[in-house]
């Protein structure tokens, strides 16, 4: 993972490298119960070189606490793309494609028991345009070097900041995640 982080820090495969202060490879526990995959770093994440450190990150940490989990204990947190898109725009397909080998290698090395894909990361990982409300509450899987990893979809924690009414749906998704990750 250290070697991978160095490769990510030096990557110039897409234009996002030009705007970054720091690449944001990911952080957390190896062989975790849960690997959270978000979309892309935001401004503060880019400054600190860590994923999900701002308000969406606090919301994510609260979500994890609700299922007795944390980055310090049993979770690894990463993103589809490792460099911040300017103005926090959505990553472009070409940027997602350029960064995907890093994510796949990271999953291979981290060896999570389950994956929680939040927001648009779900559609990217599952290579589908289906809306999130149809992807939720289903146990999908992602095969990485022959290993089939259960994957659960939920709304992005940033959405909950503006739409707290969706917390009930996220709670349901977290219960399903708990089950597939062997935590309940």
**Distances from the Cα of 80 to the Cα of 102, 121, 134, 163, 177, angstroms:** 9, 6, 21, 23, 20
Cβ-proximal residue to ligand URA, closest one: 38
Q: Do 65 and 22 form a contact (C-beta atoms < 8 A)?
A: no
Asked if 41 touches ligand URA (CB under 6 A), the answer is yes
Q: What angle do CA 106, 170, 58 make, to 5 degrees?
A: 65
Which residue's CB is nearer to ligand URA, number 90 or number 97? 90
Binding flag, residue 95, ligand URA (CB under 6 A): no
* Ordered alpha helix ranges (H), the chain: 2-9, 43-48, 55-66, 93-110, 120-126, 132-135, 157-162, 167-180
Neighbouring-strand partners of residue 154: 118
> Is residue 38 at the binding interface for ligand URA, with CB under 6 A as the rule?
yes
Q: Which stretch binds ligand URA (CB under 6 A): 45-53, 89-97, 107-115, 125-133?
A: 45-53
> Least distance from C-beta 49 to ligand URA, angstroms?
11
Which of residues 14, 23, 28, 39 is near ligand URA by CB under 6 A? Answer: 39
Q: Considering the rule CB under 6 A, would residue 40 count as an interface residue with ligand URA?
A: yes
CB of 77 to ligand URA, least distance (A): 7
State how far the alpha carbon of 144 is from the alpha carbons of 4, 32, 50, 59, in Å. 17, 16, 24, 28
Smallest distance from ligand URA to CB 133, Å: 19
103 and 11 in contact (C-beta within 8 Å)? no
Rule CB under 6 A: choose which of 79, 106, 114, 154 binds ligand URA.
79
**Does position 173 bind ligand URA by CB under 6 A?**
no
51 binds ligand URA (CB under 6 A): yes
Q: How many CA atoms lie within 13 A of 137 on its CB side?
A: 8
The site for ligand URA (CB under 6 A) is made up of 38-42, 45, 51-52, 56-57, 79, 158
């Amino acid at each position: 993972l250290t070697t991978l982080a160095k490769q990510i820090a030096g990557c110039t495969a897409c234009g996002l490298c030009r705007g970054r202060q720091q690449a944001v490879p990911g952080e957390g526990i190896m062989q975790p119960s849960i690997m959270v995959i978000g979309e892309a770093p935001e401004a503060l994440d880019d400054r600190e070189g860590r994923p999900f450190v701002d308000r969406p990150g606090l919301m994510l940490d609260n979500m994890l606490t609700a299922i007795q989990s944390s980055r310090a204990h049993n979770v690894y947190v990463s993103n589809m793309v490792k460099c911040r898109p300017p103005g926090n725009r959505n990553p472009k397909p070409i940027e997602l494609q350029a960064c995907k080998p890093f994510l796949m290698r990271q999953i291979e090395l981290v060896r999570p028991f389950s994956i929680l894909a939040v927001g648009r990361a779900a559609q990217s990982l599952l290579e589908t345009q289906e809306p999130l409300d149809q992807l939720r509450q289903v146990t999908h899987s992602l095969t990485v070097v022959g290993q089939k990893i259960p994957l659960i979809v939920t709304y992005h924690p940033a959405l909950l900041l503006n739409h707290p009414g969706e917390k009930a749906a996220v709670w349901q998704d977290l219960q399903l995640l708990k089950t597939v990750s062997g935590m309940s």
